[in-house]
Amino acid sequence: MGDSGLTPTTMTLRLAEHSKDREQQLAQIRQSLGPRSIVLIGLMGAGKTAVGRRLANWLDLPFTDADTEIEAAAGQSIKEIFAEHGEAYFREGERKVIARLLEGGPQVLATGGGAYMNPETRAAIQAHGISIWLKADLRVLLKRVSRRDHRPLLAVGDPETVMKTLMAERNPVYAEADLIVESHEVPHDVIVGAVADALAAKLGCDMPARKRRRKKVQ
């Protein structure tokens, strides 16, 4: 291992990750996307921000986090908005901010877990973007959200009960998304690869990237 901290194995994987096939696939996705946004939806803990950031990096597109934009517009954290003004006020701000952000494609846009439940927001996403539901199971979601305590919906009551209720309410609506990608407990880049493959198939620019890439990894 040299100064870079990369072992030969990680170097091979990194090179493979940016293989010609993958680069070609990503370039085709970018081209086919036009001005549309790639919109990540799903429950708290689904990995929308982490996956979205990496996906944007792979595609060389801007990344936007709707919650961060809502906080910037309000000059308050989401926790403060909920505490001071209530959820309905937050939802109205969320609808407006996402409508504005969707005018700014192409980009990768991560939305808060409740955003897609608003019919106007769903219609706007449909009109200006491609929606991807990052679908994770209860155990994975709870493990991920337990790492931080900034989510007001989980601050009231038992997180497992809240999450189960939200899954029952929201999963049938999330299922309307253009694409569904499982968000398992694997490195984020694996999920990003699955998202890229799903996008390529949806946009009709599918490449056999995975098959060829595997050959290069010893």
Judged by the rule CB under 6 A, the positions of this chain that interact with ligand S3P are 44, 48, 67, 78, 112-114, 151-153
Q: Which residue has the tokens 């950031």?
A: 53
Q: Which is nearer to ligand S3P, 91 or 212 (CB)?
A: 91
Task: Name the minimum Å distance from CB 134 to ligand S3P.
Answer: 10
Nearest-approach distance from CB 78 to ligand S3P, in angstroms:
5
Look at the block and give the residue holding tokens 């219609």: 123
Least Å from the CB of residue 168 to ligand S3P: 14
* Nearest position to ligand S3P, beta carbon: 112
- Residue 213 near residue 37, CB atoms below 8 Å: no
Decide whether 81 or 205 has the Cβ nearer to ligand S3P: 81
Q: Considering beta carbons, is residue 44 or 55 the nearer one to ligand S3P? A: 44
Distance CA 36, CA 27 (A): 15
Q: How far is the CB of 197 from ligand S3P (least distance, A)?
A: 24
DSSP 81-150: HHHHH-HHHHHHHHHHHHHHHGGG-SEEEE--TTGGGSHHHHHHHHHHEEEEEEE--HHHHHHHHTT---
35 or 182, CB closer to ligand S3P? 182
What CA–CA distance (Å, rounded) separates 31 from 29? 5
The token pair at 96 is 């407006």
| Cβ–Cβ < 8 Å for 110, 37 | no
Cβ at position 109, least distance to ligand S3P in Å: 12
Select 44 or 207, whichever has its Cβ closest to ligand S3P. Answer: 44
